[in-house]
Amino acid sequence: MFKFLKGMTFSTRSIHFHKTGVDIPIDKDLFYQIWKIGSLHGILRLSKISRALTGRLPRKTIAFFPQRPGPWYNARIAAEMAGFKVVDDIDGADYQFVFSDDTHTELTEDIITSMDEAAINKGAFDISKSHVGDVFFEIFGYAINVDPATFVGDVVAKSEMNGTHDGQVIQCPILPSEIDPQCAYQKLIPTGRADNRTEDLRLLYIMNKPIIVFHKTKDKAVRFGMEYLNVIPKQPDDVFSQDEIRKISEFCDRIGLDFGALDILRSNADQKIYIVDVNKTGMPVMCLSLRTQLKAFRSISDRFISGLEDRFA
């Protein structure tokens, strides 16, 4: 039990996540998020008890490897809402999900041998920002990545690591000696509004299909952080054109993403979309109401069920 805590170190001031190197401060905001996740899982537990009392056994079993997700991850919540039983036995599980916070997923030989050809996210082994940019250019035909030594203008420098939210705007070109090999360099996409706010889109992509878009508004001063002024769930068809949805699906297929989220920006300058990040171990948008969260996760879990049944048929 609580195997997911092995990847963390606790202090009096913060929680350190080993795989990503991220430190989460222990403050009232953290306790609020814990309360929101706890409330969501409380409802899932009641549903589980109801199924047990009425004799409805778990639908199927699912094994996450090499990392067992904590209760705050979308994949774990979706699996439990779908009625799946989370197990450790990779060989014996009905479904297998390659799950790791690492930017580059590395599996041992015995796990690779045990892994089903249909395992979820088995192809998403590299979600570094540079690789995301390379695949984006391949599919969309225009670039997000830049060479900071030759590009002229504002550029976002951010860690290649997953989940750091450490973007900084710099003026390029810079000297070759100033280039950080641990950073990706991307165009600064103009998404600002007249009220000093910025907008971005988080698209949840589940089993070969875009499911829901979280349209987020932020204060421009903290545009790279996780503090939102407003979040509105929308349908993908209301946000993206059919051609954009087709290319998004091609992108996800090329990068190996079966279950995860894309961070997408729509430029005020050319109205084009830019995929700037891929997250295969995402978490809920905490500022949403519990009712809205449940509605979103019902859509996610429904697609998860149908997608798994198709994949493993």
Highest mean pLDDT of the ranges 189-193, 236-240, 289-293, 304-308: 236-240
CA distances from 246 to 139, 226, 240, 261 (A): 10, 28, 10, 16
- Do 116 and 140 lie in one domain? The reply is no
| Model pLDDT for residues 245-274, shown as the tens digit of each residue | 999 999 999 999 999 999 999 999 999 999
- Do 82 and 144 lie in one domain? The reply is no
- Do 146 and 100 lie in one domain? The reply is no
pLDDT of residue 24: 63
Q: Give, as one character, the DSSP assignment of residue 172.
A: E
Q: Sheet containing 210-219: give its strands across.
A: 230-234, 210-219, 197-206, 259-266, 273-279
Q: Give, as one character, the DSSP assignment of residue 79.
A: H
Residue 105 lies in a domain: yes
- Do 135 and 273 lie in one domain? The reply is yes
Q: How many CA atoms lie within 13 A of 167 on its CB side?
A: 22
186: pLDDT strictly greater than 90:
yes
- Do 111 and 151 lie in one domain? The reply is no
| Model pLDDT for residues 145-164, shown as the tens digit of each residue | 999 999 999 999 998 877 67
312: pLDDT strictly greater than 50:
yes
- Do 116 and 59 lie in one domain? The reply is yes
216: pLDDT strictly greater than 90:
yes
Range of the domain at 47: 3-122+292-311
Residue 284 lies in a domain: no
42: pLDDT strictly greater than 70:
yes
Residue 158 lies in a domain: yes
Q: Identify the helix (H) or strand (E) that includes residue 32.
A: helix 28-53
Residue 287 lies in a domain: no
Residue 185 lies in a domain: yes
Section 102-131 average pLDDT: 87
Tell me the pLDDT band of 180, cut-offs 50, 70 and 90: very high
Q: Quote the radius of gyration of the chain (alpha carbons, Å).
A: 20
As a whole number of angstroms, the distance between CA 145 and CA 147 comes to 7
- Do 92 and 167 lie in one domain? The reply is no
Residue 207 lies in a domain: yes
Residue 285 lies in a domain: no
Total domains in the fold of the chain: 2
- Respond yes or no on whether the N-terminal peptide bond of residue 66 is cis (omega within 30° of 0): yes
CA 77, 79, 80: angle at the middle one, nearest 5? 65
Residues 6+ apart with CB under 8 A from 239: 201, 203, 213, 215
Tell me the pLDDT band of 22, cut-offs 50, 70 and 90: low
HEC readout, 204-226 = EEECCCEEEEEEEEEEHHHCCCC
For residue 109, count other CB atoms closer than 10 A to its CB. 7
Q: Give, as one character, the DSSP assignment of residue 185.
A: E
pLDDT of residue 287: 83
Section 71-98 average pLDDT: 91
- Do 93 and 190 lie in one domain? The reply is no
- Do 146 and 245 lie in one domain? The reply is yes
* pTM given for the model: 0.86
- Do 103 and 50 lie in one domain? The reply is yes
pLDDT of residue 1: 46
- Tokens representing 21 are 């190197």
Tell me the pLDDT band of 204, cut-offs 50, 70 and 90: very high
- Do 116 and 136 lie in one domain? The reply is no
- Do 275 and 145 lie in one domain? The reply is yes
Tell me the pLDDT band of 296, cut-offs 50, 70 and 90: very high
